[in-house]
Structure 1
Amino acid sequence: MAERKLFAGHAIRRLRFQLGVSQAAMAGALEISPSYLNLVERNQRPISAALMLKLAETYDFDPRRLAAAEPGGGAEALRRRLADPLFADLAIDRHQLEEWLAGAPDGAEAFARAYDRMGGGSAMPAPGAAQDPGPQVRRAIERWRNHFADLDAAGEALADELRMAGEPYGAMAERLRVKHQLAVRILPAEVMVDTLKRLDLHARQLQLSEALDPSARAFALAEQLAVEARDEIEALVRGAELDRVAARLFRRHLTAYFAAAVTMPYARFLRACEASGYDLELLQRRFGASAAQVAHRLTTLQRVGARGLSFFLMRFDRAGQVSKRYAGASGSALVEAAVPCPLWNAYDAFARTDETAVQLVELEDGARAFTIARCVHPHGGAPGGVRPRFVIALGLPAAEAGTLAAARGVDL
């Protein structure tokens, strides 16, 4: 699959300012012309692999910073902020936005921080009022396009160690026993009435309900192993500057992210995606994961130099109440809808519990997206009770959907 071009002139310019060198001096060190460096800094030329390597060699520069350092989370994240009614009379178009990012990236970053800190323009809370933690956490996630490179690297390294130790579940249980002095115990559902997992530090046990299926049990063990990435997780939480409640929710998201990085290691997962046409059922079987786990993982594939497709995700109930939404790198306006359109055939997935519902969707602005929806039943509830049902809908720009197994036979 062809790699998309990387524009990150703001990161190069920031590095140059930090070093206190001129464009001519940096260009000489990188063995390129000053005019070419000027174009790169203004995002009029992409950063090539050769230039990326030269930056790393010359300035000990971590290439991952090129993706993480986009001011305000990038053009699409800024566009979503500017869609606030507070700015409706300004009519800021995409061209102006790109000029702003190229010409004053730190100004764009300052605007994004101020807007986020104040809780959003038209929805700005009264002084001293508590902010809704949900939007805070989502902004923190979208700032990174739901891709956390350090957690992926740590999870992948751990997965490689576990892979050498045997079958994943057994290897994780053994690591918890040996390294963390925790035994894994499966208990009857009637004992674990109010919870599906419990960490009993007195007994040194991670207790799991028998109601959890194998994929959920493995994921629970991987989440417990996230203690090995505590430094990386806490650095991200501190950097997000959230209030106490939002920080706790963000930490939970990052813990689950690390668990996915362990159970579905980035490089292996991406190779499987590309080889199978992102076949959801095949990916579930290959990695011993649930449909929901695979769907969430698909929104994270934005590693520099090894990007997957730009999936977004929504989870909603029959009433259209959205409980999760990740735009990822898609920039799709579809994920911003307060309530999913009732004509969207994603709702059909409630009646087709073992099938996926696919659709080519065209939005009011002419943008087209290909969507894949599946009904899921999260674990939980009292034994014998009615389990909640949700639809998880994945989508991506129609232009990227040609390689999908689910899109075969669809006129894109």
Structure 2
Amino acid sequence: MLAMSMATLVARPVFAQGTPMAVDPELSATISVWTWPNNDRTFTALMPAFNKVYPNITVNVQGFPNANSNYLNTVQRALLSGSGPDVAMIEINELALLRQRPQWVDLAAEPFNAGPLLEDFAGFAAENVKTDNGKIVALPKHTGPGAMFYRRDIFDEVGLSSEPDAVADTFATWDAFLSEGSKMIVPNERWMIANGLEILTVRMGQAGIGWFDADGNLQLDNPVIIDALDLIDQAGKAKLISPFSMWSPEWQSAFGKGQIATIMSGNWFGGLLKRAFAPNDAGKWGVSPVPADENGSRSWNYGGDFIGVLNTSKSKEAAWAFIHWLVTDDESLKQQYQNDDLYPAYLPAGSADWINFEDPYYGGQNVNTVFAEVQRTMKSWPLNTHDRLAGDAVQVAVDNVAKGVETPEQALETAEKRIMARL
């Protein structure tokens, strides 16, 4: 019998073949959810809608600062100690680090049967939540389809059309990005882009490569990365790149002051523009695809998050009810998009009226015509547990190249030494 049981385990299919679990709307339970700002505020605001479906499930939300520091450390301690919440979120840059932990409930198994459900999510996000043995550790919540946000008023001022289709044509290539971008520059007052790292992350995302290859080898010598550093070098010499450090007060305020003509970022950046960086600039911004790479790709992902259930949960059915509702329910996704510009990983939401509308902040543009195509065509890339370490080292390299402190070759060599010394 033991041998037969072991054979059954070994032969278990990658996904359970049943339909995803439906939870009794009258289920009564209390669950705890850990996340980071502003998801804690978002989840709390969603509770009235959730309780219309599950009136007897109480959700206690707790937020910990910064997904990659305090929150990450708190979750890791909980996993190691066998404690923690019923539900926890995972930021995309920490997914490789956390998904191998055995403390996550396998959502592919009975009674959850999430395997078939993953077919309804963006492919690269669905692929990332699976381990090599077919375990599903979380459900995709949001993605970060990327584009170029641009100031319509600055484009008009320098004599370039500010209409989205025209901008897409004008900035169809990286050579055009450098030449046409130079028209935006006012020395020491206005720049084309906010930070050189934008160029590198776009180029890597278009090609579907990470800091490490699928075998875990650091690949700073990848031709795509080298080419991107050369582009940053050219952009720096042409004074296209602002001197502001990412996320610094000066960087944040530059968008509302009209000091930055464009920024290449995930769709969620629009939420920051609307509610924090440039709330009084309705009508001044537009969205266009980024310049194409040599293969014609203009799609890339920048950001994303996931949400899973811990084995220590005493209310796994209620925990499943919450995460399944959160990432698939139309009202949930609608409110998250309207309140925070969080782009659903759930593909059916892409055709909803609430995500396809003429947005007054963008001068009446339906920006989902850009983001939906990016989500449809964006590539996956290998995630690695040391991605953040590599990213931090390369950020220094990018800044040094942009400022002319180091050549691209010198900067990448320095970054590689820093990374290898800490691995």
TM-score bin, normalised by smaller chain = under 0.3
Compare relative contact order (CA 8 Å, sep 6+) and give the higher one, 1 or 2.
2
Question: TM-score under structure 2 normalisation?
Answer: 0.27
Q: If the length of structure 1 is used for normalisation, what is the TM-score?
A: 0.27
Q: Higher helix share goes to which structure?
A: 1
